[in-house]
């Protein structure tokens, strides 16, 4: 084999190796993106139409039942409105978000509860269901 053919063969192996690295990197990136998107719940808090502007925390109060702290209630104010409270968050004793309440752009009070509570389960997943008059919609 001539020197020219050896050099061309080495260059071919080098570019083949680089192409394989690029391809494997692309597969690894696609796998990570697929895993991240699978972790996200299908119904998120942002999809409920909650206010996107900055809110000011005005109150953080413990929720007490039978002398034991079972969670916390956070109340927020939107400085752009005349209301004193525009958004509420209810947390359980582990700090997991259980329910939210807000006033939408039409002035209607809305509530969303974690789906696990509506189904009587204890494993909160962050999938919220809007509730109207006590019925999930």
Sorting pLDDT into bands at 50, 70 and 90, what band is 41?
very low
Residue 80 main-chain phi, psi, to 5 deg? -80, -5
* Average pLDDT over all residues of the chain: 78
Per-residue pLDDT reduced to its tens digit, 99-111:
888 887 777 888 8
- Give residue 92's pLDDT band: very low, low, confident or very high (50, 70, 90): confident
- From the list 30, 14, 86, the residue with the least C-alpha distance to 74 is 86
Distance CA 102, CA 107 (A): 9
Please give the Cα distance from 85 to 57 (Å, whole number): 9
How far is residue 99's CA from residue 95's CA, in Å, rounded to a whole number?
12
Judge whether residue 128 has pLDDT over 50: yes
Give the count of beta carbons closer than 10 Å to the beta carbon of residue 100.
Answer: 20
Q: What is the spatial distance between Cα 90 and Cα 128, in angstroms, rounded to a whole number? A: 12
């Amino acid at each position: 084999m001539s020197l020219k053919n050896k050099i061309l063969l080495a260059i071919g192996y080098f570019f083949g190796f680089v192409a394989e690295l690029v391809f494997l990197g692309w597969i690894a990136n696609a796998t990570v993106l697929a895993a991240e998107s699978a972790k996200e719940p299908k119904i998120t808090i942002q999809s409920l139409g909650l206010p996107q502007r900055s809110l000011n925390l005005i109150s953080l109060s413990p929720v007490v039942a039978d002398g034991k702290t079972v969670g916390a209630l956070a109340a927020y104010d939107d400085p752009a409105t005349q209301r004193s409270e525009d958004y509420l968050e209810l947390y359980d004793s582990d700090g997991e978000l259980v329910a939210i309440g807000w006033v939408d752009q039409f002035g209607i009070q809305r509530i969303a509860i974690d789906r696990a509570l509506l189904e009587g389960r204890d494993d909160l997943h962050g999938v919220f269901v809007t509730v109207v008059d006590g019925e999930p919609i």
